[in-house]
Amino acid sequence: MKVAGTPYRSIRPDPDSAGVFVIDQRWLPHEFRVVRLGSLDEVALAITDMWIRGAPLIGATAAYGLAIAMASDPSDAALEAAYSRLARTRPTAINLLWALNDLRQRLQPLAPSARRDAAYARAAEIADEDVEINRRIGENGLPLIRKLAEAKGGKRVNILTHCNAGWLATVDWGTATSPIYQAFDAGIDLHVWVDETRPRNQGASLTAWELAGHGVPHTLIADNAGGHLMQQGEVDMVIVGTDRVTANGDVANKIGTYLKALAAADNGVPFHVALPSPTIDWSVERGADIPIEERSGREVSHVWGRTDDGALAAVRISPEATPLGNPAFDVTPARLVTSFITERGVCPASRDGLRSLFG
């Protein structure tokens, strides 16, 4: 997608040496900063501290992280150490382990001298594949939006999304946003309700910034407004991303997704999940077994932003002694999900639905 007219991907390799460039998303929407990650430590920190985030981008960044590690030490021991280090960075998005397992399996049989180049090549492939997967998710999701527009006689379609499952969360296009961008580009009149997504506000900071960059009409709302808007008939569909889908079709995504799914079910609003296949975890049967990341309470007690005098600052919003809890993801049971929009088509959110597309 474009930033001020220039096409960007959220991650790109450093052509001159062993490194990778990413957008440091902590500064958005206030500043657009591109940083170079040049060591395993830097890549691990960038994932843990959410300079980069979003399940598919976490996977692509981890793949480059392993490549960077191989550039400085391609030994068996270094491969295992880098794998373990990166695997610990964030627990919920399965794309991380998917990418690390993919690379490790390819690198282990190779001579150490061949590992650096092979790792870079595979990381680049994973990034390219992600772009194509997301483009196809958009193609497959577009007819769902078109159908709603037709049913409304061409009147504006209102879509609600949660967190950021946009191009910043992937290598390009986004998952949940890809059908939106493609429908908008096809001339369908649409508008997006953007949940702020407390506590880190990825909706307010990232999704709102992205949609504005592409000219897509949108309105930022407090997380708690979604149910009310559904009752008022102001939401025609919900599309969210996901960090992990289990074999039975349960969906882990950013905290608050489950409440939106409950409200959607109560109001007869279709609730779609944009699902790239690397986000399916066939090894876990049901959502209750997905590890849910517990993040720092500071994300709850403080809000980060630009003050009226132009400074970037974190301000405390709760008493200093208040105990804090911060589960970062929740699980939406498959029964609340209308369909999965995948790169291979749209399917019911169930074991059979997933098998019908992915065998």
Contacts with ligand MRU by CB under 6 A lie at 53-56, 93, 163, 165, 169-170, 175, 202, 241-243, 253-254, 328
Instruction: Please say whether the beta carbons of 38 and 19 come within 8 A.
Output: yes
Annotation says 243 is catalytic: yes
To ligand MRU, the closest distance from the beta carbon of 134 in angstroms equals 8
Which tokens go with 348? 């019911």
Shortest reach from residue 243's CB to ligand MRU, in Å:
5
State in angstroms the smallest separation of the CB of 41 from ligand MRU. Answer: 20
Q: Which is nearer to ligand MRU, 236 or 299 (CB)?
A: 299
Q: Residue 292 gets which letter from DSSP?
A: P
Residue, CB closest to ligand MRU: 241
| Cα 314 versus chain centre, distance | 24
Q: How far is the CB of 292 from ligand MRU (least distance, A)?
A: 11
Instruction: Choose, from 172, 195, 243, 330, the residue flagged as catalytic.
Output: 243
Closer of 19 and 59 to ligand MRU (Cβ): 59
Q: How large is the angle between the packed helices 95-107 and 55-72, nearest 10 degrees?
A: 30
Q: Please identify, using beta-carbon distances, which residue of 149 and 163 lies nearer to ligand MRU.
A: 163
Query: Looking at the DSSP assignment, which residues form a beta bridge with residue 342?
Result: 345
**CB of residue 87 vs ligand MRU: minimum separation in angstroms?**
16
Q: Is the dihedral of CA 312, 318, 323, 324 positive or negative?
A: negative
Nearest to 190 by CA among 231, 223, 141: 141
Q: Helix 112-151 crosses helix 177-185 at what angle (to 10 degrees)?
A: 60
Q: Which is nearer to ligand MRU, 67 or 273 (CB)?
A: 273
Nearest to 330 by CA among 211, 237, 183, 223: 223
Minimal distance, residue 308 CB to ligand MRU, in Å? 27
Closer CB to ligand MRU, 43 or 70, in the complex: 43
Number of Cβ within a 10 Å radius of residue 44: 21
- The DSSP annotation for 122-185 comes to HHHHHHHHHHHHHHHHHHHHHHHHHHHHHHTTTPPEEEEE-S--SGGGSSSS-STHHHHHHHHH
18 or 140: CB nearest ligand MRU: 140
Q: Which of 251, 278, 283 is nearest to 350 (CA)?
A: 251
Residue positions annotated with a catalytic role: 243
